[in-house]
Amino acid sequence: MSNSLLFSPFTLPSPQGGLTLANRIVIAPMCQYAADDGQATDWHLAHWTNLLNSGAAMVTLEATAVTEDGRISPGCLGLWNDATHAALQSNLHRARALAPATPVCIQLAHAGRKASSARPWDGGQLLDLDNQGWQTLGPSNVPHLSTERAPKAMSVQDIADVTRAFVVAAQRAQSMGIEAVELHAAHGYLLHQFMSPLANHRDDAYGGSFEGRIRIVMEVFQAVRAVYTGVLGVRISACDWVEGGWTVEETTRLSALLKAQDCNFVHISSAGVSPLQKIDVAPGFQLPFARAVKVATGLPTIGVGLVTDPQCAEDALVRGDADLIAIARAVLFNPRWPWAAAAQLGGQVVGKVNYLRSQPLQARHIFSNQGGGQR
């Protein structure tokens, strides 16, 4: 039996009962820019099958737009109509059938003023209206870059419409058996834009004070919580890394308010709302933010950010920085990262039976469902 915390179970609460994860490794949401009019494609089938066979305890699907104009790029995944629903459901169900039973989380998102962007390999910049682009929305008519086309400042009706879109997307997710939903309030996208005084210059009930700037986040959360009975959490940028921006203290206050509304976890990242950000990047650089929230609120907390070494992940849990560790690009580079971590730390994962003969001699312990053979 392993003494590794990374390979110990953890239970996330929810209204319909706890969701017990086999270990503390979560795959973070990572955009693939491979959708067709918001619809999942063969790329998603292959990608999700790969991630679901990684040995992680839960896989989070990429930022999934709740409206067509909420996509980051023309290639981003969506869940706003029957066509996007059918494509996501079909590909996800096929992927899950080809992997060990693994809980799935979906990140629901709206990109706000950072929508209508080219794919990263096409430059990632704001697209012209006559070249696949569209009019973006934001809390104020303040562009992300000063040289860009300004977003439309959202009316109260626009806010209500987007809130409703989050609700409908969550209902669609629940109908296809997705066990968890993560609302995206990080990385400079719409909900984060409202939270940050750098992007939110409103003088109505949705701006100004801390309470005004978080109002849309609370309204979206409460509306989704009312209809979604699975595990529900929020990804938050803990700070903007710019003077005068959103702060760690505000993140802690928001997390406490979310907890009071039956939020089941927070996923603590940072940055994204301003091109002026100056980030002190280093392995595990965001873990102190997760620890601050965890200590202050007691909410189940996911830590993320350049945690690429299994021992680093283990040490973070031992220190109490987080309850779960999210792995992102490291698992794209090494799709069996959790297997390697199990071999290094003495843990175990469940493998698809087709792969049970794959472990090297020095790591023959890693599959908890090891058995059988062939004459």
pTM, whole model, 2 decimals? Answer: 0.97
pLDDT at site 373: 60
Go through the domains of the chain in sequence order and give each one's CATH number: 10-363 (3.20.20.70)
pLDDT at site 357: 86
Instruction: State how far the Cα of 49 lies from the Cα of 45, in Å rounded to an integer.
Output: 6
pLDDT at site 371: 67
Phi-psi region of 281 (alpha: psi -120 to 50; beta: other; left: phi over 0): beta
Residues noted as catalytic: 189
* DSSP-derived secondary structure letter, 362: G
Specify whether the CB–CB gap between 4 and 314 falls below 8 A.
Answer: yes
For 148, 166, 175, 301, the CA distances from 78, given in Å and listed in that order, are 25, 11, 16, 26
Report mean pLDDT in 10-residue bins for the chain, 375 residues.
91 96 98 98 98 98 98 98 98 98 98 98 97 98 96 98 98 98 98 98 98 98 98 98 98 98 98 96 96 98 97 98 98 97 96 88 85 61
**Residue 58 backbone phi and psi in degrees, to 5:** -155, 140
pLDDT at site 193: 98
- How would you label 70-88 residue by residue, b for 16+ Cβ within 10 Å and e otherwise? bbbbbbbbbbbeeebbebb
Instruction: State how far the Cα of 17 lies from the Cα of 332, in Å rounded to an integer.
Output: 32
Query: Which residue reads 């490291």 in tokens?
Result: 330
pLDDT at site 372: 59
Side-chain-side CA neighbours of 285 within 13 Å: the count stands at 12
* DSSP-derived secondary structure letter, 296: H
